[in-house]
């Protein structure tokens, strides 16, 4: 059995391809020069006080898994300067794009990781995260690939360990089967509760939501986004 520290694409392939078109020169430069500065060092133990990852004091810590084009992460980081953000994205082109934007906007409250998010979750200390975002993750629509969906009992255990009591896990998707899949897994997990009390709670995005490129495409193609928020039991 593969240990948590030595997972491979063959055992937990939560993401697809790693690279797309050839990077533009500025993007390649940002990737080679800035990523080493901002990348989490998982070779060493995480600091007991995770807030020390950022150069300025932060009052909360958020984790975004698979930030894609980076629109949401960049917006939140720019409007919430007192929050420390950890963004995880294995797709090189997306990472390079975000790095270029971080540099141009001068943001210093973001730290990054460019591989499997479960490694970050296993590295983090207990109860150190205030909020986790999993926004429009790959739905892996074929039944034989459902095991690759990031929402699973094992990963919800990981979320429960790193989230603070009453911390939030936010999930967005336009794929009905993945929405139902997530609700079913949450219902089976003792440490999470769906916060919705009325239909608007899952039909309308969260406060300050900037939208994403993928979301706009989904709406153009006639799919309806769903926004789910879950609370970590206190």
Active site residues: 138
Cβ atoms of residues 76 and 83 within 8 Å = yes
100 to 48, 51, 84, 94, 213: CA distances (angstroms): 30, 24, 19, 10, 17
**Placement of tokens 């150069």 in the chain:** 55
Helix (H, G, I), strand (E, B) or coil at 62: strand
Residues 180-210 as b or e (16 or more Cβ within 10 Å = b): ebbbebbeebebbeeeeeeeeebeebeeebe
> What contacts 163, CB < 8 A, 6 or more positions away?
127, 129, 130, 132, 169, 232
Q: Is residue 101 within 8 Å of 137, Cβ to Cβ?
A: no
* Cα 23 from Cα 12, distance rounded (Å): 27
Residues paired with residue 82 on neighbouring β-strands, in sequence order: none
CA 101/CA 27 separation, integer angstroms: 10
């Amino acid at each position: 059995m593969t240990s948590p520290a030595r997972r491979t694409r063959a055992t937990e392939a939560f993401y697809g391809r790693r690279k797309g078109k050839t990077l533009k020169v500025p993007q390649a430069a940002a990737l080679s020069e800035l990523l080493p500065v901002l990348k989490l060092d998982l070779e060493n133990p995480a600091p007991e006080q995770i807030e020390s990852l950022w150069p300025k004091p932060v009052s909360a810590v958020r984790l975004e898994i698979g930030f894609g084009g980076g629109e949401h992460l960049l917006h939140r980081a720019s409007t919430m300067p007192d929050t420390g953000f950890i963004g995880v994205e294995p797709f090189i082109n997306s990472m390079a794009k975000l790095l270029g934007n971080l540099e141009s906007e001068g943001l210093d409250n973001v730290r990054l990781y460019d591989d499997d998010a479960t490694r970050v979750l296993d590295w983090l200390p207990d109860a150190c995260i205030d909020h986790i975002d999993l926004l429009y993750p790959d739905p892996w629509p074929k039944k034989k690939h459902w095991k690759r969906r990031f929402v699973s009992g094992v990963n919800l255990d990981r979320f429960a360990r790193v989230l603070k009591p009453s911390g939030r896990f936010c999930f967005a998707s336009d794929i009905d089967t993945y929405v139902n899949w997530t609700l079913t897994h949450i219902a089976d997990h003792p440490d999470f509760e769906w916060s919705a009390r009325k239909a608007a709670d899952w039909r309308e995005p969260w406060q300050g939501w900037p939208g994403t490129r993928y979301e706009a495409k989904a709406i153009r193609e006639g799919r309806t986004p769903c926004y789910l928020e879950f609370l970590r039991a206190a």
